[in-house]
Chain A
Amino acid sequence: MKMLINVAETVVADALRGMAAAHPDLTIDVENRVIVRRDAPVDGKVALVSGGGSGHEPLHGGFVGPGMLSAACPGEVFTSPVPDQMVRAAAAVDSGAGVLFVVKNYTGDVLNFDMAAELAEDEGIQVAKVLVNDDVAVTDSLYTAGRRGTGATLYVEKIAGAAADERQPLERVEAIARQVNENTRSFGVALSACSTPAKGSPTFDLPSGELELGVGIHGEPGRERRPMMTSSEIADYAVDVVLQDLQPRNPVLVLVNGMGATPLLELYGFNAEAQRVLTERGVVVAHTLVGNYVTSLDMAGASVTLCQVDEELLRLWNAPVRTAGLRWGM
């Protein structure tokens, strides 16, 4: 597999150096791997800190900025960051109003953020945590590590970030973050495997002519493999699976997310089909986002995320945001 890298060991550091050069309103500590909005800590504002393995860009570093995250800590590729990074990030952004950790449900992320929360509290930082677990492809969660955190992360970070910007207190920001997670579901499909720099070749075997239904953002398989389907058939399947689980009564926010290697031409086409299915099912769409937001390196494929919103969540969603990966209203 050809990759635009130097060596696998420096991939994350090299990316951070490049990100720093492209985004002067971020402070990027390349050595300690912490990305912080330049004006942090912001007086009286709850800080949001997230992080996870690298390879999902723009998640999370691309969502740091006014209206969204205060800081992010990227781990090695597909590997959770370490507690030291999270504590450093929390200390850099805490204004005294407390810090909310946004944690995706993977064993490594959960364990490291738990340890970091303890350490941060030892340093006198008030910490709350929200666990994101929206992936409906994972069944029998009693016997697994539970549902994975995927596309809902973007909604949690944006909506809770807007609440924090309004100077809402930590308990309230945390409650809103939980509300968003509870009202959001995702389902992903892969058309090809991804290749990590450390391995240099595809991490799983997906024959041409087949697709993986219910894939995770690290290429973990989901429900089943089938012969390749059309965009229309995939949208029927994916949207229905999500709706079986969510059954929204209110309008929804729609994220048609690319896994990294699927062009916008295909994503927009897929979105047309997803919107058709939603209309057929009588679901009202309040806002749609199409693009590569929660990616899996060079995996081809897409995921659909639906987030059911009430008036307050919709207002917070529409609030201004200025980050590398998401930006409107300012």
Chain B
Amino acid sequence: MLDAAFLRHWLASAAALVDREAERLTELDSPIGDADHGSNLQRGFAAVVATLEKEAPATPGAVLTLAGRQLISTVGGASGPLYGTLLRRTGKALGDAAEVSEQEFAGALRAGVDAVSALGGAAPGDKTMLDALVPAVDALTESFRAARDAANEGALATTPLQARKGRASYLGERSIGHQDPGATSSALLFDALVETAEAGRE
């Protein structure tokens, strides 16, 4: 079972990974975006960690809802609303339960991913964060590790795609050959999930 503390650790771990990978994300964002994905997410996740330390909500749902709202308030760009919606809608789908099963978490995250897809009007194959998120939630019913692997494979598989949403879409064919920074940062969430789950078992 996953409790509020688990979710807080997950987000703290995600924040640490984003912090470590910020430069690489920005580097990926510079040929096809505007070279700020790393610094924007870094700012947002740092604010999430600070807020959760201050407020410490009691349920998994409340942790994610608060984190999502914080991302919307601090990140800006497309990443703010998209990542914010992912966490907020996942949190809302979890409801008020003090603990949730891994299956319930997987179901809620799917609701979050669906909301991201609806908000951005994108689908897998458009070279966006959904190329990591969708295979990851599909694999999440199996295990956290399977989800992590699927997310990372999905992120790598964006390289040969032509972007059809977001700023990279303006490049047309010239977006081909670059790994999508949004899919890459999305995979970090699942790296963090495995890290958190395995740290808990030790």
Interface residues of A (CB under 8 A from B): 8, 53, 75-84, 106-108, 111-112, 115, 138-140, 143-145, 148, 196, 198-199, 203-204, 216, 218-222
Contacts and interface: CB of A to CB of B under 8 A. Distances in A.
Contacts of B20: none
A145 B164 CA distance: 7
Contact of B74 (A82, A216, A219): A82
A222 B167 CA distance: 12
19 contacts: A8-B39, A53-B34, A76-B43, A78-B34, A80-B76, A80-B77, A83-B73, A111-B80, A111-B81, A112-B72, A112-B76, A115-B72, A115-B81, A144-B170, A145-B165, A145-B167, A196-B35, A198-B35, A220-B171
A204 B31 contact: yes
Contacts of B35: 78, 196, 198-199, 203
Nearest to B39: A198
Contact of B171 (A53, A84, A112, A221): A221
Given A80-B77, A80-B78, A199-B30, A107 B36 contact: no
A259 to B, nearest CB: 14
B167 A199 contact: no
Interface in B150-176: 164-167, 169-172, 174
Given A79-B76, A108-B78, A204 B170 contact: no
Interface of B: 26, 30-31, 34-36, 39-40, 43, 72-82, 119-120, 164-167, 169-172, 174
Contacts of A107: 78, 120, 165-167
A204 B27 CA distance: 11
A108 B80 contact: yes
Given A79-B40, A107-B120, A204 B76 contact: no
Contacts of B166: 107, 145
Nearest to B74: A82
Contacts of A79: 34, 36, 40, 75-77
A145 B169 contact: yes
Contacts of B174: 221
A218 B80 contact: no
Nearest to B38: A198
Interface SS of chain B: helix
Nearest to A75: B76
B30 A108 contact: no
Q: Of residues A81, A145, A148, which shows the largest number of chain B Cβ atoms within 10 Å of its Cβ?
A: A145
Nearest to B22: A198
Contacts of B165: 107, 144-145
A143 B36 contact: no
Contacts of B81: 83, 108, 111-112, 115
Given A79-B36, A82-B72, A112-B81, 11 more contacts: A53-B77, A76-B76, A79-B75, A79-B76, A82-B80, A111-B78, A111-B81, A111-B82, A143-B164, A145-B167, A220-B167
Shortest Cβ-Cβ A-B pairs, 7 listed = A144-B169, A108-B77, A111-B81, A108-B78, A199-B35, A107-B78, A79-B77
Q: Of residues A75, A108, A115, A203, which shows the largest number of chain B Cβ atoms within 10 Å of its Cβ?
A: A108
Contacts of A220: 34, 167, 170-171
Nearest to B75: A82
A82 B74 CA distance: 7
A108 B119 CA distance: 11
Contact of A143 (B73, B167, B169): B169
A216 B32 CA distance: 12
Given A81-B76, A83-B72, A138-B170, A144 B164 contact: yes
B170 A199 contact: no
Contacts of A106: 78, 167
A177 B169 CA distance: 26
A274 to B, nearest CB: 24
